Amino acid sequence: MFAYVVRRVLATIPVMAVVALFVFSLLYIAPGDPAAVIAGDQATPADVERIRASLGLDRPYLVRFGAWVWDILRGDLGTSIFTNLPVSTMIAQRIEPTLSLMIVTLLLAVSVAVPMGVVAAWKQGTLVDRAVMAFAVLGFSVPVFVVGYLLAYFFALEWDLLPVQGYTPFSRGFWPWLENLILPAIALGTVYIALIARITRATMLEVLQQDYIRTAKAKGVGQRAILFLHALKNAAVPIVTVIGIGIALLIGGAVVTESVFAIPGLGRLTVDAILRRDYPVIQGVVLLFSFVYVLVNLAIDLLYTLFDPRIRY
Amino acid sequence: MLGRRGLMAAGAASVMAPRVVGAQGAAARTLRVIPQANLTSLDPVWTTAVVTRNNAFLVYDQICAQDAAGAIRPQMAEGWEVAQDRLSVTFTLRDGLLFHDGEKVTARDCVASIDRWSKRDPFMQVLQPAIAEVAALDDRRFRFRLHRPVPLLLEALGQTQFPCFVMPERLARTDAFQQLREAVGSGPFRFLPNEWNPGQRAVWAKNDRYQPRQEPVDGLAGGRVPRLDRVEWTIITDPATSANAMTLGEQDYWEYPLHDLLPVMRRSRDLVVQQRLLEGTYGICRFNCLQPPFNNPAIRRAVAMAVDQRDYLRAVAGNEPDGWGVCEGVFTCDTPLANESGSGILKTRSIDRARAALREAGYAGERVVLIAPGDYPQINALSLVTADILRRLGMNLEIVATDWGTLVQRRASKEPVERGGWSVIHTTSQGLSLTQPVTHLFLRANGPNAWFGWPEDAGIERLRAEYVDATDAAERRRVAEALNRRAMELMAYIPLGYYWQPSAWRRNVTGVFRAPATVFWNIAKG
């Protein structure tokens, strides 16, 4: 097992290298010029050129790529073109809100979606099942920002129950922290809940047809124990896989959710950096996201062994 | 109005009353602002971003500044003295000026700041050949020595478009093309670097040692009195969220509300929505004068005949007539140089006549590439109205929808449209920049060095030089009329009128005054 984990962690290195090369090349060929944005309308072409040179943007592709990789190997993600702050500092400033949003969303989604899916499978064909499936279709179809605006309208503007925007760090108390995350987590979690609920239902339906479930019923095991101890545990592998895949969905959705609820997270940092062509920041954030994604996949693979002892690495 | 959450918070707070009273006092003296953009750089010389300039007005002070009527008045300067031969101007600083780090402001700081700023300011670059030297005479006095009289020197030094902010000599010695990492000034507020999170928040605290002038505030001149303990900018990119935050009292001041949301904001009894800037924002339709078909002035003029500014302004600012104004000249309306000499062509407003003029001009179906920035709502709206006109004129139009970052790169291309060039772009400009020829970017016609589109016209350049040397108002007016006439013949760009960009603030915010820029001194929160 340990050897497997080490192997998988080492395997992230070539993956990250490919991501780095891809991201850098893509940004290199993408249109846009940060020097022109900085210089403003009144600048002469010579001024723009001098700014470009001072930022090192006039150097050839290979030189720039080499310098960037060398810096990364030394643990330096570079410096933002616009703010002059280290990219690592900017990421550190933004990681807590995004992490908080993702954790709350994940907890909310799993605690709502899995029981929903289980109950829908158990009550297959009934009104409850149809209601869950209708919610799942709706959750998939309505964009995150629409859900976000509706929640903000009712819970903040109309009923004044929750704040409409912003983020309070965890260090300033649990409730102030959570208060700002409830609406964004529901907005971001809706599509995730729909996804997990559907997969849970489908997998549970398959498991509930198995012989050992029939045997358990024949032995007089209670309905709750059958559903949550026997069936759900055996259905867990595909569910956990979907939860893992959904992390990517969350990262994408966080960009929109953070904008709608003015949460200063990594999603907004990425969008702002892209619009301004702040290359070091874009490269740093994308590398971080891909690293997280690789680690999440590793964690899911390891979780398989918990749910299914037949899986060995 | 105290909302439900406010009541709940107040109930909980009553348990620990003394602490909360203090906190409420602090909150009452903190102005929470939604700025127009994210503050990414602190250096007002390195970048021309308006948001950086607004930050600089909090942190730095100016030697002299513009009042509400546009006149230049002393600010850090006690006054100035022009020599009888007009070949030198000596400035004397007020006593007791201190930087935020406790150091005294000296004439050497002013000289270094002027030197760095001059390297980037286009206005100052026009005057530079006439300036022999700027030197400190002692701690409080510095002198401009001139090769010949420079009537516009004070206008340049006190301008608002690209202001000359005074920073400590150690910072001002930095290359003008390198970004400063520090923001240490002598202005009414101190920047708090530890609380700066670009993209989320920027915070300033009152500079207790600031000594404002005794005169009442007047535009950017007069007493800059810091009446708030803190100014906190929160970056909210989504306009609907900003509007909600203002309505709920989570924010106190919104610099640039989206025009579409103004009716909603106006309906709220807790909010004031008013024009704060002294000048409107002007729309500009720019032609690429190097490439066909718009290298032909007759074709540019034909398109201008189809333009009705009201269509553009409604597209940007809605139907409320007090939200915008027609301005059919090249200079900012209601300012001393505003005139409509030769502007009759902009009053044609006829697609049929424009179509006939286009035929006469010899348009042969050349491809026209119009670039529209989707992420810039106002400029995008202007672009789409022009696109509609060009289509109705029967031009062979291709619209490239892109983002602002791509547009600013592509507009630098002088290539034909087949090789990535462009034909028409749009932009906006603060009226302040269009009040006189020296700062009027779009009027320049010095070919490769002109603004994108690169028109070339010796007549315009000669008139501009005449303006720089003009010594009285009548002469300046004569030159301005000649410039407007020539600009309408050349038609390197079509003026599209102006719209007002109001601001919104909570009713308990007091002392908000009109100025050429968004500033936060003299404002209090009750």
Whether residue A305 is predicted with pLDDT greater than 90 in this model: the reply is no
Mean pLDDT, range A198-225, rounded to an integer: 91
A253 vs B: CB within 8 A = no
Q: CA of B382 to nearest chain A CA: how many angstroms apart?
A: 18
pLDDT category of residue B429 using cuts at 50, 70 and 90: very high
Clarify whether residues B386 and B437 are in a common domain.
Answer: yes
User: Is there a domain that residue B471 lies in?
Assistant: yes
CB contact under 8 A, B244 and A165: yes
Provide the number of structural domains found in chain B.
3
| Strand (E) or helix (H) holding B373 | strand B367-373
Enumerate the H helices of B74-233 as residue ranges: 107-118, 122-127, 153-157, 169-172
Clarify whether residues B314 and B447 are in a common domain.
Answer: yes
B200 vs A: CB within 8 A = yes
Q: Using the 8-state DSSP alphabet, how is residue B498 labeled?
A: E
Q: Which residues between 90 and 129 in chain A have a beta carbon less than 8 angstroms from any beta carbon of chain B?
A: 90, 93-94
Residue B471: its pLDDT value, please? 86
Name the residue in chain B with its Cα closest to that of A38.
B47
Clarify whether residues B432 and B328 are in a common domain.
Answer: yes
User: Is there a domain that residue B185 lies in?
Assistant: no
Asked if B275 and B516 count as a contact pair (C-beta separation under 8 A), the reply is: no
A-B contacts (CB, under 8 Å): 140
CB contact under 8 A, B409 and A33: yes
Q: Which residues between 153 and 172 in chain A have a beta carbon less than 8 angstroms from any beta carbon of chain B?
A: 156-157, 159-167
Q: CA of B215 to nearest chain A CA: how many angstroms apart?
A: 33
Whether residue A209 is predicted with pLDDT greater than 80 in this model: the reply is yes
Q: Dihedrals φ, ψ of B234, to 5°?
A: -115, 125
Clarify whether residues B360 and B466 are in a common domain.
Answer: yes
Whether residue B408 is predicted with pLDDT greater than 90 in this model: the reply is no
Is A89-307 assigned to CATH 1.10.3720.10? yes
Residue B208: its pLDDT value, please? 95
The string of pLDDT tens digits covering residues A131-178 is 999 999 999 899 999 999 999 999 998 998 999 999 999 999 999 999
Question: Measured at the alpha carbon of residue B510, what is the angle toward residues B508 and B514, in degrees to the nearest 5?
Answer: 135
Name the residue in chain B with its Cα closest to that of A50.
B177
B75 vs A: CB within 8 A = no
User: Is there a domain that residue B182 lies in?
Assistant: no
CATH of the domain at B161: 3.90.76.10
CB contact under 8 A, A262 and B197: no
Mean pLDDT, range B373-390, rounded to an integer: 95
Residue B270: its pLDDT value, please? 95
Clarify whether residues B226 and B258 are in a common domain.
Answer: yes
CATH of the domain at B267: 3.40.190.10
Whether residue A306 is predicted with pLDDT greater than 80 in this model: the reply is no
CB contact under 8 A, B409 and A161: no
B415 vs A: CB within 8 A = no
Between strands B524-525 and B396-402, the pairing is unpaired
Give dist(CA B45, CA B64) in Å, integer. 17
Residue-range definition of the domain harbouring residue B352 = 281-499
> What 3-state class would DSSP assign to B78?
strand
A88 vs B: CB within 8 A = no
User: Is there a domain that residue B53 lies in?
Assistant: no
Clarify whether residues B97 and B7 are in a common domain.
Answer: no
Which residue's structure tokens are 């994108």?
A: B452
CB contact under 8 A, B405 and A37: yes
User: Is there a domain that residue B387 lies in?
Assistant: yes
The string of pLDDT tens digits covering residues B289-340 is 999 999 999 999 999 999 999 999 999 999 887 899 999 999 999 999 999 9
Clarify whether residues B516 and B480 are in a common domain.
Answer: no
Q: Which residues of A touch B375 (CB under 8 A)?
A: 275
Lowest mean pLDDT among A149-158, A250-259, A281-290, B17-26: B17-26
Asked if B281 and B382 count as a contact pair (C-beta separation under 8 A), the reply is: no
Residue A11: its pLDDT value, please? 80
Asked if A295 and A102 count as a contact pair (C-beta separation under 8 A), the reply is: no
Q: Which residues between 241 and 260 in chain B have a beta carbon less than 8 angstroms from any beta carbon of chain A?
A: 241-242, 244-245, 247-248, 250
CATH of the domain at B356: 3.10.105.10
Count of all residues that appear for chain B in the document: 526
Clarify whether residues B368 and B303 are in a common domain.
Answer: yes
Q: Which residues of B touch A83 (CB under 8 A)?
A: 40-41, 198
A29 vs B: CB within 8 A = no
- Give CB contacts under 8 A, 24+ apart, made by B377-383: B377/B258, B378/B281, B378/B283, B378/B316, B378/B428, B378/B499, B379/B404, B379/B426, B379/B427, B379/B428, B381/B312, B381/B315, B381/B316, B382/B283, B382/B285, B382/B312, B382/B315, B382/B316, B382/B426, B382/B428, B382/B496, B383/B424, B383/B425, B383/B426
ipTM: 0.79
Other CB atoms within 10 Å distance of the CB of residue A248: 15
B130 half-sphere exposure, CB direction, 13 A CA radius: 17
pLDDT category of residue B20 using cuts at 50, 70 and 90: very low
Q: CA of A254 to nearest chain B CA: how many angstroms apart?
A: 14
Name the residue in chain A with its Cα closest to that of B42.
A83
| Domain boundaries defined on chain A | 16-73, 89-307
What pTM, to 2 d.p., does this model score?
A: 0.86
